[in-house]
């Protein structure tokens, strides 16, 4: 299938110069990445590994030193490509002097909405992120999690086909992060493409179809979640051939012995273990 990917980065390298020094921080190192349409892609990596920078390159907010970024095949540096994308920055900050509703109204107007359509959209979004009760309070009085929710609402203003979320659940309470998780499922159901990063690996494991793991600016591993964390050095019974009958027999045997088969399926390691394994070596190398 040669469908154009929703998000495509080709050999992106980005250095940030350190003022008054010759050296520069290598934030992203020759990174190539494709996010197919309709997938939820999770980018993982330790602090400072370049995830946020990668997102900014994909959005055209940061110009890479070399390489290209495309959204639905359009170069990210073209402003027009941003019609299709919603972005939740990490630790989102908005104008503190605005209320929640005013903030959303402002972003709606930036996206060309007006009149009754704008009013109803603002109301829907506030409801969607559970902030109806705080709509008319200034953002200077919002808690971290509330700001995060406004940030999420703001990202969805123009009903974009791509949603990029930089740590969407940071600072959000457990119930809120479950809601965000459900929202991501909803987005996926609606055929949107989601690119997110998070340090909460269990959540990533739950929502993502594909995972990329970054360390020191490089994409060190990438693939479908099932491929990445389907079983590693663990002891288990593997069955081949005669599936259903054999399983029934095993089940019967276990039950006869007083046990119970809780689940039958492909075993996995935890994503957390896998993550530490693939990033560990590089992190060590960087620290000395």
Partner 1 sequence: MTASEPFNQAKDVTPHKRFSSGRILAIASNTLTELTRTKVFYFLFIFGLVLLGSSMLSNNFSFGEEFQMLKDVALGAIGIFSTLLAILSTAMLLPRDIEDRTLYTILAKPVPRHDYILGKLLGVFYLLFISIAVMSVLFIILLAHREGIRIGQAALMYENPDDLVAAQNQIRAAAFTPGLWAGLFLILLRACILAAVTLLLSSFATSNLFTIVMAFTVYLIGHIQSIARQYWLESGDLNAFQKVFLSITAIIFPDLQMFNIVDEVVVGRAVPWFLVIKVFGLGTMYILIYLGATLALFRSKEL
Footprint of partner 1 (CB under 8 A)? 56, 59, 61-63, 79-80, 82-83, 85-87, 89, 91-98, 102, 106-107, 109-112, 114, 124, 127-130, 149, 151, 154, 156-159, 176, 179-180, 182-183, 185-187, 189-192
Interface with ligand ATP by CB under 6 A: which range of 50-58, 106-114, 140-148, 264-272? Answer: 50-58
Can you list the positions of beta strands (E) in 173-250?
Answer: 193-197, 210-215, 218-224
Instruction: Tell me the CA distances in angstroms from 52 to 111, 195, 212, one per residue in order.
Output: 23, 11, 13
Interface with ligand ATP by CB under 6 A: which range of 49-57, 111-119, 132-140, 280-288? Answer: 49-57
User: Residue 244 burial (CB < 10 Å; 0-12/13-18/19+)?
Assistant: exposed
Under the binding rule (CB under 6 A), the answer on residue 169 touching ligand ATP is: no
Q: Residues in the site for Mg ion, rule: CB under 5 A?
A: 52, 90
Residue choice 9, 31, 39, 52 for contact with ligand ATP (CB under 6 A): 52
Q: Helix (H, G, I), strand (E, B), or coil: what is residue 241?
A: coil
Under the binding rule (CB under 6 A), the answer on residue 16 touching ligand ATP is: yes
Residue number with CB closer to partner 1 (203 or 279): 203
Q: Is 279 left (phi over 0), alpha (psi -120 to 50) or beta?
A: alpha
Instruction: Tell me the CA distances in angstroms from 222 to 135, 141, 266, one per residue in order.
Output: 40, 40, 20
Q: 95 touches which of partner 1, ligand ATP, Mg ion, none (CB within 5 to 8 A by kind)?
A: partner 1
Residue number with CB closer to ligand ATP (52 or 169): 52
Count H helices and E strands in the chain, helices first: 9, 10
Can you list the positions of beta strands (E) in the chain?
Answer: 7-17, 24-35, 40-44, 66-71, 74-75, 85-88, 162-166, 193-197, 210-215, 218-224
Residue number with CB closer to partner 1 (10 or 123): 123
Residues at the site binding ligand ATP, with contacts judged by CB under 6 A: 16, 25, 27, 45, 47-53, 90
């Amino acid at each position: 299938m040669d469908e154009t990917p929703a998000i495509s980065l080709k050999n992106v390298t980005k250095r940030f110069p350190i003022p008054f020094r010759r050296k520069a921080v290598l934030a992203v190192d020759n990174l190539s990445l494709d996010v197919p349409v309709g997938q939820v892609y999770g980018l993982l990596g330790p602090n400072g590994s370049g995830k946020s920078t990668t997102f900014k390159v994909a959005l055209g907010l940061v110009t890479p030193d070399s390489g290209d970024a495309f959204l639905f095949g359009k170069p990210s540096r073209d402003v027009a490509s941003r019609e299709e994308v919603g972005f939740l920055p990490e630790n989102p900050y908005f104008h503190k002097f605005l209320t929640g509703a005013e903030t959303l109204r402002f972003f709606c107007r930036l996206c060309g909405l007006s009149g009754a359509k704008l009013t109803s959209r603002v109301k829907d979004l506030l409801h969607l992120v559970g902030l109806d009760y705080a709509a008319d309070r200034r953002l200077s009085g919002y808690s971290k999690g509330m700001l995060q929710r406004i940030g999420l609402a703001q990202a969805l203003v123009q009903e974009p086909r791509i949603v990029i979320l930089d740590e969407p659940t940071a600072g959000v309470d457990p119930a809120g992060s479950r809601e965000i998780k459900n929202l991501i499922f909803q987005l996926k159901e609606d055929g949107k493409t989601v690119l997110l990063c998070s340090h909460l690996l269990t959540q990533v494991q739950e929502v993502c179809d594909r995972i990329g793991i970054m360390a020191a600016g490089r994409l060190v591993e990438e693939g479908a979640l099932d491929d990445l964390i389907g079983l590693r050095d663990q002891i288990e019974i593997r069955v081949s051939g005669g599936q259903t009958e054999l399983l029934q027999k095993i089940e019967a045997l276990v039950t006869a012995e007083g046990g119970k088969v809780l689940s039958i399926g492909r075993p996995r390691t935890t994503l957390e273990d896998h993550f530490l394994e693939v990033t560990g070596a590089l992190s060590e190398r960087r620290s000395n």
